[in-house]
Chain A
Amino acid sequence: MRWESSERRRATFVLAILLFVAMGLLILQQTPSLGTFRTWLWRIAEPTPRALARLPISAVSPNGPALPEGLGRMDRRLLQDRLTAVLAENARLRQLVGFQTHRWPTAQLAQVIGRDPQYWFRSLLIAQGAAEGVTTDAPVIAVEGTQEGLAGRVSEVAPHVAKVLLITDPMSAVIGICRRLGEEGMVVGTTRGELEWRYLTPETQIHAGDLVETSGSSDLFPPGIPLGWVTDVSPQETMAGFRSVRLRPAIAPAHPHEVLVLTPPSQ
């Protein structure tokens, strides 16, 4: 059919143009002007997840309000579920505020509003950005119960949203130290979402359960933030004579609802 073949020819021509533009974006992605363009695109995409994250939730006392009389069974069930979620959020926030006050007084509390839309990259989106004082490379800490751990670092910042690269992403690398041994190495993410502690001397007497934390050798991360525990001490592949072991992350990076964003030590 003629109309169809002319539409297909037109579509093929437009495809060539669009692919040329996309290839141009790939080649020029490190240039400053493209960074500005990307920030403007982010301004279009960010408001909806940020708005969803700020849905009002009223504070509820631990005892909870009395449920009104005359509610149907389904309504009571929904209210009860909502009450449970609010109480859990209150408890998390109290713990975070406690950590913030005593351990990291200059830290900012940030809500996690989403994840990378490309599921293969381990990153989070938080509802704090440049306008709130968040800077690139700022360390990000998560808290679960009484346990804190390094979640990652800020990789990109927009006016009101920031991206956090998690330590379990293969692109992440942090210098970690085991205080018991005095051994330093590089903690990197793996393709399986685990951690690997690399460049250890073969004679190191590592035990399962040893804690690895940030060493403070780099300008990015303060010392003493837990990274993970050694899980597997069986001989791993060695690289150039060095040894590596697997770690269990101190905090499951996939789970935090809120995080603490620190000011980088160099600032």
Chain B
Amino acid sequence: MKRMGFLGVTLMAALTTQMVVPRFIGGWGGPQLLLLMTLWVGWRRGPLTGELAGFLGGLLADACSLAPFGSQTALLTLVGYIAGMERGRLDEQNLIAQVILAVIVSAGYLVGMMLIAQVVRAVHPHQLVDGIWRWGGAAWSQPFWDGAAAPLVFRVLHIWEGWWRLSDPRHAAGYFRRSL
């Protein structure tokens, strides 16, 4: 129950921050907090928790967005799954690993959104390519925003998890015991 509550509150906080903060700082770019949160949850808690967090976060984001309904749901689910599969393979405390993973996942998310936009809205192919390079700076700059913000966001989430007094998931999964 505590883990569910932690996930729910964190998810709502990430979505609300992503909607409300740009109103004050202006511009149309910024880190995708929902994506980074899903990445962190998957990386930390495994593929099952990651994909569920991505699915629920994506549903809420799709409800609040003009994006095709289901697009962010599908993509964030994949993000959570992929991050969870990397658990144990990449050191989650390594800053460089955090930045690289965030940039790669964000770039994949961007490509995924473009493909979904083409399939769902039947966007002409040349507009698709044109959109990648000319979409007001908000699209092509997204991986850089996410990569730059990832270490800070992960650190904040780590501290936030500590406030909830949640156990280290690696102990719960028997990671240490079985890896020795």
State the A residues within 8 Å of B (CB): 1, 3-4, 7-8, 10-12, 14-15, 18-19, 21-27, 29, 34, 38, 41-42, 44-46, 48-49, 52-53, 112-123, 125, 155, 163, 165, 169, 171, 191-193, 254-255, 257
How many contacting A-B pairs (Cβ < 8 A)?
164
Residues on A with C-beta less than 8 A from B71 are 26
Minimum CB distance partner of A25 in chain B: B70
Q: Report whether B134 and A192 are in contact in the complex, using a CB–CB cutoff of 8 Å.
A: yes
Find residues 56-104 in chain B having any chain A CB closer than 8 Å to their own CB.
58-74, 77-78, 81, 84-85, 88
Q: Report whether B65 and A121 are in contact in the complex, using a CB–CB cutoff of 8 Å.
A: yes
Q: Report whether B69 and A29 are in contact in the complex, using a CB–CB cutoff of 8 Å.
A: yes
Residues on B with C-beta less than 8 A from A125 are 19, 64
Q: Report whether B77 and A22 are in contact in the complex, using a CB–CB cutoff of 8 Å.
A: yes
Q: Report whether A122 and B20 are in contact in the complex, using a CB–CB cutoff of 8 Å.
A: no
Residues on A with C-beta less than 8 A from B74 are 19, 22-23, 26
Residues on A with C-beta less than 8 A from B65 are 116-118, 121
Select A22's contact among B16, B26, B55, B120, beta carbons within 8 Å: B55
Which label, helix, strand, loop or mixed, suits the secondary structure of the B interface? helix
Given the interface pairs A11-B48, A22-B77, the reply to whether A123 lies near B66 with Cβ below 8 Å is yes
Q: What is the bound-complex CA distance between A155 and B64, given in angstroms? A: 12
Q: Report whether B69 and A52 are in contact in the complex, using a CB–CB cutoff of 8 Å.
A: no
Q: Report whether B18 and A117 are in contact in the complex, using a CB–CB cutoff of 8 Å.
A: yes
Q: Report whether A49 and B19 are in contact in the complex, using a CB–CB cutoff of 8 Å.
A: yes
Cβ of B34 under 8 Å from chain A: yes
Q: Report whether A14 and B51 are in contact in the complex, using a CB–CB cutoff of 8 Å.
A: yes
Which 3 pairs, one residue from A and one from B, show the smallest C-beta to C-beta distance?
Answer: A25-B70, A11-B47, A41-B63
Residues on B with C-beta less than 8 A from A8 are 47, 85
B28 to chain A, nearest CB (A): 5
B131 to chain A, nearest CB (A): 6
Minimum CB distance partner of B54 in chain A: A18
Q: Report whether A117 and B34 are in contact in the complex, using a CB–CB cutoff of 8 Å.
A: yes
Q: What is the bound-complex CA distance between A155 and B48, given in angstroms? A: 35
B90 to chain A, nearest CB (A): 15
Given the interface pairs A18-B51, A119-B30, A255-B26, the reply to whether A165 lies near B69 with Cβ below 8 Å is no
Minimum CB distance partner of B27 in chain A: A254
Cβ of B142 under 8 Å from chain A: yes
Residues on B with C-beta less than 8 A from A123 are 66
Minimum CB distance partner of B33 in chain A: A117
Cβ of B124 under 8 Å from chain A: no
Q: What is the bound-complex CA distance between A19 and B58, given in angstroms? A: 12
Q: Report whether A48 and B12 are in contact in the complex, using a CB–CB cutoff of 8 Å.
A: yes
